[in-house]
Structure 1
Amino acid sequence: MIITITAVTCALLQIIDTTIVNIALPTMQGGLGASLSEITWVITAYAIANVVVMPMTSWLSQQFGRRNYFAGSIIIFTLCSLLCGNATSITELIIFRFLQGIGGGALLVTAQTIITESYPIEKRAMAQTIYVLGVIVGPTLGPPLGGYIVDNYSWPFIFYINIPIGIIAALLTIQYIKSPKYAEKVSSRHVDWLGIGLLTIAVGLLQFILEKGQEEAWFSSSLITTSAVISFFGFFFFIWRELVYKYPIVELRVLRNVNLSLGSILSFVLGFGLFGSTFIIPLYTQTIMGWTAFQAGMIMIPSTIFTAVMMPFVGKMMEKGVSFRWLITSGMILFFIYSLMAYKVLTPDTGDDAFFWILVIRGIGLGLLSVPVTTMALSTLHGPEIGQGAALSGMMRQLGGSFGVALISTYLTRDIQFHRVNLISNISAYNPIAQQRLALLEKSFESRGMTWDAAEKAALQLEDNVVNIQATVLSYMDIFLWIGVLFLVCVPFVLILVRKPKNKITASDVLQE
């Protein structure tokens, strides 16, 4: 139990730190005198470091020992949290966030591996339930916690809260976590330095493209285009290198396991929906409904509560033999229903109570979806394969979230312009209803003492604001609909491809673990 609590706490720390900073960016920007493009690197640097380290985690654990590597990562994360809070310039903050991301990238994957190996095979479903609860709750807790800290204290405290938890977690890790006996250290002359370099370039540039693509106008920018080409060839040569080298930094051969391959793909879809919806709902409530950061974060709490409530039941159902296929299918259908309901309910005047039942359905759907996906990915792996599989599925979930946020941001920007053009076409001199409304607005402003030309300008400005709000709402509706369609399209593939493991678990398998 102590091992489980320690591992889940570390995973929760890493995920909360991914989203908690978003709320504090405007305050940090003003405090450090940074530009908008500079302050966003606080998020980008952490994300790049995370996604580069994740696939290397299994190999690094073998090199340094599971306990030493996990404790070292916690210490790096905790120390860099202190340095981030004490940063006096934007350059310092970006550097410390990158180093914090290196420590944090190991926490999520290693925590999953530790929890999986700490339980016998027949209890792994419940073990994954405990782990996934932290993974799902983390992104939701970040925004309200960050909003509360910024509103009541100052931005450095979003980093300082990691320090006491990190110290306790490091001490518990040193005391209770053990390194597996099967770990074999690779000699320095066999270290896959080329693989490390290719992985860093390929994954790092891909994350950079996803984080900065919209800001740089995507492939209209030579920087993004060049980065995409280098990333593509980096992935190509990295895959070739890992398949032919005797001591690869990432063991890609483990993807021959069908459950892991399917689980990794579904982890990508899950990350897309989880981080995408966690990004879009608070953004909508702040831009359209005028909520504070704390209010926007708190709206996600019902979803989190119902996800937490569902997970033990899902774990028990899996232990009793309920198929991965039906649980995942049910979760995806519920996620589609949630997206469709959000699409239907959005208007410029939507009240805060309209989201409650929608988010309840989201929470139930995530509870049914997330535990089976995570468990299925590792269900037929043994020994060191567990760490390798956890690293790959964790990276895919992280990349899914990055793709989700990047595509949603791009689509939102372009779709707003599309809807604006369509709406403006209805406001013309040939539309008597539009002209009548404009005339009434002008008379209303004139009755308040404005001159004719000032009243006309104010009326046009008000109409322009209404059009912008309507166009934005229509764009959010489209996004919810397309996210739902993505999950619905996956259902037939889940029904066809997902199967129970062919090999039954025996007592000898349990003893071998």
Structure 2
Amino acid sequence: MNQQNSLVEYGSRRVIITITAVFCALLEIIDTTIVNVALNDMKGSLGATLNEVSWVITAYSIANVIVVPMTSWLSQQFGRRNYFAASVILFTVASFLCGNAHGIVELIIFRFIQGLGGGALLVTSQTIITESYPPEKRAMAQAIYVLGVIVGPTLGPPLGGYIIEHFSWPLIFYINIPVGIIAALLTLQYVRSPKYAEKRKASEVDWLGIFLLMMAVGSLQYILEKGQEEDWYSSSTIIVLTITAFLGFYCFIWRQMVYKYPIVELRVLKNGNLRMGVILAFIQGFGLFGSTFIIPLYTQSILGWNAYQAGLLMIPSTLMVAFMMPIVGQMMQRGVSQKYMIAGGMLIFFLYSLFTYKIMTPHTSADDFFWPLMIRGVGLGLLSVPISMMALSTLKGIEIAQGAAFSGMSRQLGGSFGVALISTYLTRDIVGHRGDLVTKLDIYNPAVQNHVKGIAAGMQAKGMAPNTALQTAHQLLDGSVTIQATILSYMDIFLYIGLMFLVCIPFVLFFVRKPAHKPVKSSMTDAAH
């Protein structure tokens, strides 16, 4: 029996391993978004500025992106079971320390440590689930895993909002502790490690590669997280870190290609399916995290909802993804072409973006969002599993873990690029739209004058002095212009995200041609040999 088959589990053992891995992946992703709604409370409680408290998110993201590419190597060094259990324990202990932090510096340090533990959970969970199922059932295994990846970003805001509303912010970290303890015990009891080649001696470890990787991805993630806040290249810090990231990646790639024992095996990217999967994972991350970021922002800033209400809006879409997972898994097991499912998912995601673009007004209701978000759920269901399966479908042995690391990192960087670009675009586009609207607002136009007078008359009827009423009327008109400019910018973003997916469809149909004639069962069986 070869190594690949030796890790296949059956019966209750496989169920336990699957649940453990999915919960760990879910915990990690929830923690990337649950903190967002608690920043104000943390700021007040810890006496920090908004800039300081935003590092609670940035530190976690940087640590995540640093550790993800190294997970395959670390699994080989320490054994997958030991490394996964240690990551769960580190994540759980750091969660306790985050909840118990007495200052903002402490909290940022503990969040970074939590991110180091959490980054490993996502990729290693995918590898464990993939190798625990026989080849013909791996499509369903990926569907189960991807469900956790999609549900996580959606559950974070409403769960965080509910906790903040009814309890206090430390509880968003403490809820990880019982799950983490159970997951660590189940991992040590049930998860098995592959038989890796002999681990490297300290003298053989690519310490320079580790340093270059940390320097490169850490700098890039900082740029994406903080670029808009520091006005991009008007900041000397951003300029220095851009040069650092470029040189870091260049030197890291060179080092990995020439060193005998590389920390990240770049040669695995010679696999065409993995290469395409990594590109599509980036695009998927851009669309998924971009739309997950923009809808709560719109509902809270324009419609006046709180974080809990905004988070609940996304639940139907998540339930639709859950409904789609077994259907997609069955379709793939029956040999439906991956490229047609991915192309179909991209077309549906375009339609979702187009419908959302059309319903945006200052008075859009939750009911208006229902069907577009359900369409989003169908699109994500058709995209997520085929992309994940295509990336890993023709890999074998240790390559599965290496491929999962590249795919996971690409999805996360896609999300970071998406949020960074959307934030920058919003800030600048609102100014542009506002300028256009103001030029069309002629104060000498009788219709405009009558509108202002009508508002002022209403204010005077409530007892306001004439001068104050007129000033207030002008302020309200100015506010309505700003709101309209903001809505136009949100509409632009959805239109451009949709067009990005639409443009990718021919690209997918053209480049994912080779494996298309193979049924999934056949290609997955090849991976086992």
TM-score in terms of structure 2 length: 0.95
The runs of 5 or more residues in structure 1 that have no matched partner are none
Name the amino acid aligned to 2:301: T
CA–CA distance in structure 2, aligned partners of residues 343 and 401 of structure 1: 20
Deviation track 1:454-512 (CA, whole Å, cap 9, x = no partner) reads 12211111101111111111111111111101111110100001135388877996795
SS of equivalent residue, structure 2 residue 101: coil
Deviation track 1:167-218 (CA, whole Å, cap 9, x = no partner) reads 0000000000111013431111110111101100000000000000010001
Name the amino acid aligned to 1:102: L
Describe the shift of the 1:512–1:278 C-alpha distance in structure 2 as closer, same or farther (beyond 3 A).
closer
- Asked if structure 2 preserves the Cα contact closer than 8 Å seen for 1:15 and 1:135, the reply is yes
Give the match for residue 342 of structure 1.
Answer: 356
Q: Tell me how far 1:433 sits from its aligned partner.
A: 1.7
Give the match for residue 101 of structure 1.
Answer: 115
Is 1:379 paired with 2:374? no
Candidates 489, 494, 509, aligned match of 1:495: 509
CA–CA distance in structure 2, aligned partners of residues 500 and 429 of structure 1: 63
Give the match for residue 472 of structure 2.
Answer: 458
Q: Would you say how many aligned residue pairs link Structure 1 and Structure 2?
A: 513
- Asked if structure 1 preserves the Cα contact closer than 8 Å seen for 2:25 and 2:148, the reply is yes
Q: Tell me how far 1:448 sits from its aligned partner.
A: 2.9
Describe the shift of the 1:341–1:50 C-alpha distance in structure 2 as closer, same or farther (beyond 3 A).
same
Name the amino acid aligned to 2:81: R
Give the match for residue 260 of structure 1.
Answer: 274
Give the match for residue 47 of structure 1.
Answer: 61
Is 1:394 paired with 2:408? yes
Describe the shift of the 1:354–1:512 C-alpha distance in structure 2 as closer, same or farther (beyond 3 A).
closer
Deviation track 1:384-415 (CA, whole Å, cap 9, x = no partner) reads 00000000110000000001111111111111
Is 1:36 paired with 2:50? yes
Q: Output the aligned Cα RMSD.
A: 1.5
- Asked if structure 2 preserves the Cα contact closer than 8 Å seen for 1:65 and 1:183, the reply is no
Name the amino acid aligned to 2:151: V
Describe the shift of the 1:218–1:162 C-alpha distance in structure 2 as closer, same or farther (beyond 3 A).
same
SS of equivalent residue, structure 2 residue 361: coil
SS of equivalent residue, structure 1 residue 178: coil
Is 1:129 paired with 2:143? yes
- Asked if structure 1 preserves the Cα contact closer than 8 Å seen for 2:348 and 2:378, the reply is yes
TM-score in terms of structure 1 length: 0.98
- Asked if structure 1 preserves the Cα contact closer than 8 Å seen for 2:139 and 2:333, the reply is yes
CA–CA distance in structure 1, aligned partners of residues 417 and 24 of structure 2: 24
Candidates 365, 373, 376, aligned match of 1:359: 373
CA–CA distance in structure 2, aligned partners of residues 239 and 507 of structure 1: 30
CA–CA distance in structure 2, aligned partners of residues 121 and 27 of structure 1: 48
Candidates 275, 296, 314, aligned match of 2:310: 296
Q: Tell me how far 1:138 sits from its aligned partner.
A: 0.6
Deviation track 1:433-456 (CA, whole Å, cap 9, x = no partner) reads 212212222233233333332122
Give the match for residue 207 of structure 1.
Answer: 221
CA–CA distance in structure 2, aligned partners of residues 363 and 508 of structure 1: 26
Name the amino acid aligned to 2:45: G
How does 1:19-418 map onto structure 2 within 5 Å? 19-418=33-432
CA–CA distance in structure 2, aligned partners of residues 186 and 333 of structure 1: 47
CA–CA distance in structure 2, aligned partners of residues 304 and 508 of structure 1: 28
CA–CA distance in structure 1, aligned partners of residues 125 and 80 of structure 2: 10
Name the amino acid aligned to 1:315: G
CA–CA distance in structure 2, aligned partners of residues 346 and 414 of structure 1: 19
- Asked if structure 2 preserves the Cα contact closer than 8 Å seen for 1:113 and 1:387, the reply is yes
- Asked if structure 1 preserves the Cα contact closer than 8 Å seen for 2:395 and 2:527, the reply is no
CA–CA distance in structure 2, aligned partners of residues 36 and 508 of structure 1: 49
Structure 1 vs Structure 2: percent identity of aligned residues? 67
Name the amino acid aligned to 2:424: T
- Asked if structure 1 preserves the Cα contact closer than 8 Å seen for 2:394 and 2:523, the reply is no
